[in-house]
Amino acid sequence: MGANTPQPVLSSAARALTTLLSTAQAGQTSQLALIGKTALFGNAAPDTGELAQKLQDTISKSGLFYESHVAEWVKGDRPLADLMREPQMQRLLQQGNETAARAATSGPDLSAAQMVNQQLHTQEQNRVLWNGQAWPGQEMQWEVRRDQREGGKGGGDAEGEPDQIWRSGVRFRLPLLGAVSAAVTLIGDQVHIQVQTGSDSSAATLRAWAGQLEGAMQAAGAPLSSLSITREDDA
């Protein structure tokens, strides 16, 4: 760069984004997982349809995909009521008639900074992390990730596009079974489930119920391509 070359100047949007990221990466706002504020379910076991819808809403309405949802709303593909449930719109409603000047003197919006950081991390890593309670008192860690089969081996569409591979994994520490993790992998119409436990007895208990899981998946129209249940040290 020559001596007479003008120094680059960041736009106002770039400066705002830099401030948000600096804020998000400092202190306790560095958490990249979504944090559930309430349990997903009560103590009563939900039916399958309710379970699937609740899990979908937990990610879809988290705010991670707010901008794409706004674009869908503009095109008429998403109702305004959906947007009103997302954190970004909730913050706007809470601000009410607060002026921009007053908002500026209140310091950086840590929740907004955290959300931007989580959105960028999701985009870069192709995965979403969620920590919270499945039901009151039961902690749960949940991850959803999208991969791509290298070289498009074993599938893909007619134009040679590689298969999209979706992975969903949960981790629990259950009162009777102890540590249990389950990973579901979807490749096209193939469903693979791997379950790992912390003890041989827990693995044996789950194997005894494996037939019911296979039957339920078959009845739901998603037969298992594979199911493995092992102790974690043996995997």
More confident residue, 65 or 181: 181
**Confidence at 101, pLDDT banded by 50, 70, 90:** very low
More confident residue, 25 or 52: 52
pLDDT tens digits, one per residue of 180-211? 999 999 998 899 999 999 999 999 999 999 99
What token pair was written down for 54? 């609740």
Per-residue model confidence (pLDDT) at position 180: 95
159 occurs within a structural domain: no
As a three-state string, the secondary structure of 21-56 is HHHHCCHHHHCCCEECCCCCCCCCCCCHHHHHHHHH
Domains of the chain: total: 1
Three-state DSSP class for residue 30: helix
Most confident stretch, 24-38, 49-63, 214-228: 214-228
Residue 72 has pLDDT above 50, yes or no: yes
Query: How many other β-carbons are positioned within 10 Å of the β-carbon of residue 130?
Result: 19
158 occurs within a structural domain: no
Contact 180, 194 (CB under 8 A): no
188 occurs within a structural domain: yes
pLDDT tens digits, one per residue of 32-48? 788 888 888 888 777 77
Q: What is the mean pLDDT of the chain?
A: 79
pLDDT tens digits, one per residue of 10-22? 666 556 556 555 6
d(CA 48, CA 180): 20
196 occurs within a structural domain: yes
Q: Residues 38, 39, 40, 46: what is their CA dihedral angle, to the nearest 10 degrees? A: -140
In the chain, what is the straight-line distance between the N-terminal and C-terminal CA atoms, in Å?
55
Length of the chain: 235
d(CA 74, CA 59): 21
121 occurs within a structural domain: yes
Percent of the chain with pLDDT over 90: 32
* Lowest pLDDT segment from 80-84, 124-128, 204-208: 124-128
Per-residue model confidence (pLDDT) at position 61: 87
**Confidence at 65, pLDDT banded by 50, 70, 90:** confident
Per-residue model confidence (pLDDT) at position 213: 93
Mean predicted confidence (pLDDT) in 132-142: 91
d(CA 35, CA 120): 17
Give which of 163, 162, 176, 187 is closest to 209, Cα–Cα: 176
7 occurs within a structural domain: no
Mean predicted confidence (pLDDT) in 73-80: 90
Residue 234 has pLDDT above 70, yes or no: no
d(CA 197, CA 185): 18
65 occurs within a structural domain: yes
Give which of 119, 124, 117, 122 is closest to 22, Cα–Cα: 117
What token pair was written down for 35? 């944090």
Token pair 């020559």 is at which residue? 2
Q: What residues make up the domain containing 40?
A: 16-22+31-153+164-234
10 occurs within a structural domain: no
Residue 74 has pLDDT above 60, yes or no: yes
Per-residue model confidence (pLDDT) at position 6: 62
Q: Tell me how far CA of residue 16 lies from CA of 32, 101, 115, in angstroms.
A: 20, 15, 14
Three-state DSSP class for residue 98: coil
Q: What is the CA radius of gyration of the chain?
A: 22
Per-residue model confidence (pLDDT) at position 149: 65
